[in-house]
Homo-oligomer: A and B are copies of this chain.
């Protein structure tokens, strides 16, 4: 196999190979070897050039990701929240982006609108938590969900007001959803109960999660990690990526990706060992869902897995702990009333978190 044959020399950045499969077809392969991603917990993960490239292309004006700066910011914010007697939740949300080329034109993306994370963050704030919202740039955002999607629907929801001076106002039809959302958003931000941090690339997510986890660790058992982001399981190390855009004229594409180390392990063992940690498991095959959830609890030693199946994730989940499994679901009536499953999830987990704090205390 082209991607895994012994090699005469170590592969260099930009290396790729073209081989024949013996049936007259030629394959290019990009092969993974060692990885720079994890590092020991005492080292700061540097965000490689690829993250910077992605950010440039995302048209952000912001500076490069500075995990140390983020750690300081979260630490100061967390101390304020603790002083006010608030519990803190770190909610991760949205999917990660994994580049396939060094000057990346193509990416592997995990599906996630970020709806679960955004809806949960709203509910957690309502339940009295201060929420650090670590989310994919441009994914669903708490309360902004009430706005029409960016594009023609948003333009159509705005009206020119003649003035003078001329202005812009929301169309009456948009107000019933928009007014309460804007009010709640204002209340949350004025109370400092929402701290938003953005990521795009997988490496940014990993660096920022670690920074935030360390910053929150001093809060002990009163901090909840609510890990709803859809994190890629696979990536290509920077050192193994082709420098330039992969040329389609050279034939079919074969990509070999390495596994992303699971961050749950260092999170639970080292970064925030006293915290209440909830992970999410999304499967398309209901048959394997509970087994995989239990395996995760065994392996990572955290407190809760919220298990869900792609097709039914909006209306039912199973809350799995080491000694229990609790299905939560919306009735047809609740669905008709516009209730969201996140209301039940957050309410249940808040109770579990209280019990956890009491056991620890």
Contacts and interface: CB of A to CB of B under 8 A. Distances in A.
Interface of A: 1-4, 6, 19, 21, 23, 25, 27, 32, 57-59, 97, 100-101, 103-111, 113, 115, 137-138, 141, 143-144, 147, 149-152, 154-155, 158, 160-161, 166-170, 174-175, 178-179, 182-183, 185-186, 196, 230, 232-234, 243-246, 248-249, 251-260, 282-285, 292, 310-311
Residue of A100, A175, A254, A259 ringed by the most chain B CB atoms within 10 A: A254
Contact of A152 (B103, B108, B111, B141): B141
Given A23-B4, A230-B105, A147 B150 contact: yes
A32 to B, nearest CB: 7
Contacts of A106: 108-111, 232
Contact of A141 (B19, B151, B178): B151
B253 A256 contact: yes
A144 B154 contact: yes
A284 B141 contact: no
A252 B258 contact: yes
A111 B183 contact: no
**Copies of this chain, count:** 2
A114 B255 CA distance: 26
Given A27-B1, A59-B113, A282-B105, A252 B259 contact: yes
A92 to B, nearest CB: 15
Contact of A196 (B152, B167, B249): B152
Nearest to A160: B182
Given A106-B111, A158-B182, A168-B175, 16 more contacts: A6-B23, A27-B256, A57-B310, A105-B230, A105-B282, A108-B108, A149-B150, A151-B196, A166-B179, A167-B175, A168-B182, A169-B170, A234-B252, A245-B285, A252-B257, A255-B255
A138 B151 contact: yes
Nearest to A165: B175
A234 B245 CA distance: 13
Contacts of A107: 108-111
Given A4-B27, A27-B1, A113 B58 contact: yes
A185 B155 CA distance: 8
Given A107-B109, A111-B104, A252-B234, A179 B154 contact: no
Contact of A160 (B155, B179, B252, B283): B179
A250 to B, nearest CB: 10
B138 A144 contact: no
A252 B310 contact: no
A15 B27 CA distance: 21
